Amino acid sequence: NMSALLERDLLTANQKVVRVAPHLMAEHRKTGRQPGKSDPIDALAVARAAAREPNLPIASQHEVSYTVKALTDYRESLVHERTSKINRVLWRVHAIDPEHEVKKGGLNRAKHQKLLAAWLQTCDRGAVDVLLAIKEVAAIAALTVEINEVHKQLSALVTAAVPSLVALPGCGILSAAKLLGESADISRFGTEAQFARHAGIAPVPVWSGKSAGKHRLTRSGNRQLNAAVHRIALTQSRMPDSLGHAYYAKKRAEGKKSREAMRCLKRRLVRTIFHRLVTDHAARSHTEILVPRAAA
């Protein structure tokens, strides 16, 4: 979009760019003395919001994060497309022969794709459902090859870029890729608390008087980051030898409900993730500085 192009041009010119959410702009526009809506009015509202809010997100260009995010989004679109085709094939197979069973989740694998393709060849080739199912199984196989290839690229990039994050128990390649891609340049966050707020994991106080200390979850923040942290927390809570499992059990023993204990674990975990991302970012920056000197 136009704002993204403007942002990249400003960053290329070494300008500092902060992101003002539309609702902040709208609030400042309402409090302005000039009624109505126009580009100059909106620009003034954005400037006032940026001046009043000291901790707005800072835009940043980061090639590794951008590449990882682009590949992750591309892979997810391929998986979504494959899932849609698999669902259609399963309905066609049921229409061809209700008694023929396809292993649940099996069509994600080449072995089961070949078995289904071979079975379809034995069916009535003149039936439209058979013809379409054959074409869709071939498309599923091609998508699977592409998905696996993208996963290999992601694995190589992520392992090299954030080795300490990949070493975190419960954090696989795809979760690490999501964290790296969505966080962009981790150095734009001054503290781990800012990162937690950006991920929608920082608790929101909801208490008054005798209910002191009560908090609730927040629906704001980057939900992609939040989901990645949640997957890691859920995995660790089920790993008996992990620190996450011990912390989750401790919170449950304190009387917290399952969801409350999980929120506590996520908040603790996001701190670890932040520090590992910072460590890996510093290591990459050091390497990038040394390479030109060595070449010179």
DSSP state of 204: E
Q: Which two tokens stand for residue 95?
A: 């229409």
Which pLDDT score, from 0 to 100, does residue 35 have?
77
DSSP state of 211: G
Measure CA 39 to chain center: 33
Question: What is the distance between the alpha carbons of residues 291 and 259, in angstroms, rounded to a whole number?
Answer: 47
Which pLDDT score, from 0 to 100, does residue 215 have?
67
Q: Which two tokens stand for residue 237?
A: 């809570």
In 3D space, the residue among 53, 52, 71 whose CA is nearest the CA of residue 63 turns out to be 71
Q: Which of the residues in the chain have pLDDT under 50?
A: 289, 291-296
Model pLDDT for residues 97-115, shown as the tens digit of each residue: 999 988 878 899 999 999 9
Model pLDDT for residues 180-229, shown as the tens digit of each residue: 999 988 988 889 998 999 899 987 777 777 766 676 777 788 999 999 99
What's 57-76 look like in SS3?
CECCCCHHHHHHHHHHHHHH
Which pLDDT score, from 0 to 100, does residue 169 have?
95
Which pLDDT score, from 0 to 100, does residue 62 have?
77
Which pLDDT score, from 0 to 100, does residue 219 have?
77
Which pLDDT score, from 0 to 100, does residue 287 have?
62
245-267 residues labelled b (16+ CB within 10 A) or e (exposed): bebbeebbeeeeeeebbbbbbbb
Strand, helix or coil at 215?
strand
Q: How many Cβ atoms sit within 10 Å of the Cβ of residue 282?
A: 12
Which pLDDT score, from 0 to 100, does residue 21 have?
79
